[in-house]
Structure 1
Amino acid sequence: MNIKQFLDSTYLKTEQQAGISEAQNKKIASAFIQEAIDEGFKLIMIRPNYVSLAKKMIADANSKLTIGTVISFPEGINSIEEKLEEATQAIKNGADDLDFVCNYEAFKLGEINLVKNEILECTRLGLANNKIVKWIIEVAALNSNQIIQLSALIKNVVMANFKEECYKDVFVKSSTGFYKTQDNLPNGATIETIIMMLENASPLAIKAAGGVKTYNEAVAMIQLGVKRIGTSSAKAIANGETALNNY
């Protein structure tokens, strides 16, 4: 198995979150991009402000690495208009994958039409521009019923509004990696949550983000049916080492 083609190497910290300068953070992001190029990973997942940098580095290296970025990250509470505007800019800058944070708090409050509309409009924008669209549902913020219901909601909106050949380009993704849990509980993908997502989002693809720390855990996720794995320790996992980071 070429596990590298399942790995989305990820660096999503801002300089404030990392406690470093903007120049230092850009240097780290550049190193992640270069490593992803060198290692032959599927994709580099970075903040929107680094998409243009990645595009240039990939072109200079004549690499097939693709670029993913996050929209309305990490809370997902931006309006539909704001999400569309941010995604449009990311498309212009050269992003291949758009990972939208679903407004899961609105979903929990029963604002189902709002969530349906953002899924419809943002997915339409991405697919119209030949991009892959992923919807982050933040499993650590949801109970089991909510994970099941939100996964099914995304599937139902996509199946009702887009052609079957589009289904492979829309993912349901587990986590941002930035959600703060109580009592140090997992904030990313677990086998249990991924099974719920697979059972209720199919035929849409699933991305397991956060919590996958070893090669064997990654393989187990892939064998379940996961199509992508998001991790900030892609090289360690690919080399059979244990990831030191939670995401």
Structure 2
Amino acid sequence: MKIKQYLDSTYLKTAEQAGLTVEENKEIVKGFVQEAIDEGFKLIMIRPDMVAMARKMINDANSKVTIGTVIGFHEGTKSLEDKLIEANKAIIDGADDLDYVCNYEAFKKGEIDLVKKEILEGTKLGLDHHKIVKWIIEVAALTDMQIIQLSTLIKNVVIANFKEENYQSVFVKSSTGFFKTENNLPNGATVPSIIIMLENSSPLPVKAAGGVRTYEEAVQMINLGVKRIGTSAAKAIANGAESNSDY
């Protein structure tokens, strides 16, 4: 299996979260970008403020690695206006994929029109600029029924407003990897949550993010039907090793 083309190599920690200086953290991002270039991963997933640097590195290397970034990260509660501003800046800086954190807290409160508008406007912005759009639903914060409902809502908004040729460019994505769970419960993709997403997102593709740390786990996710895997352990997975990474 050519697994590298499924892997979105991911580094999303801020300097503060990593316990590093801003410059030290920037060097780690550079290392992840260079590794993605060297290994031929599908994509490098980084914070918005690192996109322009990554674009220059990838262009200079004449590499086909694409760049993804997160919008409204990681709580998803930023206003739609703020998310669109952030997404526009990322597009200008050279991002290929926009991974929006859906306002799942608003969804849980029943503010469905707010969530629908966010999905519509955020998706339209991305597709209008020929970008891949992903909606992170944060499965660890949702019940199984809420995963069903939110996956279905995203699917229905896309089907109602965009052409069938666009469906494969709009993903439903499991997790940020930053949600704090109780009792050490998984905060990323799990087999049960991914199965629910696949069953209720189709024909939109699914990205499994967080918690995939071995080659075997990655193959399992791909065999279930996911089209992309977000992981900070892309090289270890590609080489058949196990990672103790927390994403």
TM-score relative to the length of structure 1: 1.00
Cα deviation per residue 1:102-161 (whole Å; 9 max; x = unaligned)?
Answer: 000000000000000000000000000000000000000000000000000000000000
Cα deviation per residue 1:7-60 (whole Å; 9 max; x = unaligned)?
Answer: 000000000101110000000000000000000000000000100011000011
Tell me the secondary structure at the aligned position of residue 90 of structure 2: helix
State how 1:63-142 maps to structure 2 within 5 Å: 63-142=63-142
Alignment-mate amino acid for residue 127 of structure 1:
L
Per-residue deviation, 1:213? 1.1
Cα deviation per residue 1:69-107 (whole Å; 9 max; x = unaligned)?
Answer: 000000000111111000000000000000000000000
CA distance in 2, matches of 1:162, 1:63: 31
Alignment-mate amino acid for residue 81 of structure 1:
E
1:38 corresponds to 2:16? no
TM-score relative to the length of structure 2: 1.00
2:29 maps to 29
1:13 corresponds to 2:13? yes
Per-residue deviation, 1:231? 0.2
> Structure 1: which 5+ residue stretches go unaligned?
none
1:172 maps to 172
Alignment-mate amino acid for residue 93 of structure 1:
D
Alignment-mate amino acid for residue 85 of structure 2:
E
Identity of aligned residues (%): 72
Cα deviation per residue 1:191-236 (whole Å; 9 max; x = unaligned)?
Answer: 0000000000000000000011110110010011100000000000
Tell me the secondary structure at the aligned position of residue 45 of structure 1: strand
1:245 maps to 245
Tell me the secondary structure at the aligned position of residue 130 of structure 1: coil
State how 1:126-205 maps to structure 2 within 5 Å: 126-205=126-205
Alignment-mate amino acid for residue 65 of structure 2:
L
CA distance in 2, matches of 1:164, 1:231: 29
Tell me the secondary structure at the aligned position of residue 184 of structure 1: coil
CA distance in 1, matches of 2:223, 2:100: 25
CA distance in 1, matches of 2:246, 2:214: 11
Cα deviation per residue 1:162-219 (whole Å; 9 max; x = unaligned)?
Answer: 0000000000000000000000000000000000000000000000000111101100
1:208 maps to 208
1:226 corresponds to 2:237? no
CA distance in 2, matches of 1:2, 1:245: 22
Q: What is the Cα-based RMSD across aligned positions, in Å? A: 0.4
CA distance in 2, matches of 1:126, 1:163: 14
CA distance in 1, matches of 2:222, 2:233: 17
Aligned residues: 247
Tell me the secondary structure at the aligned position of residue 183 of structure 2: helix
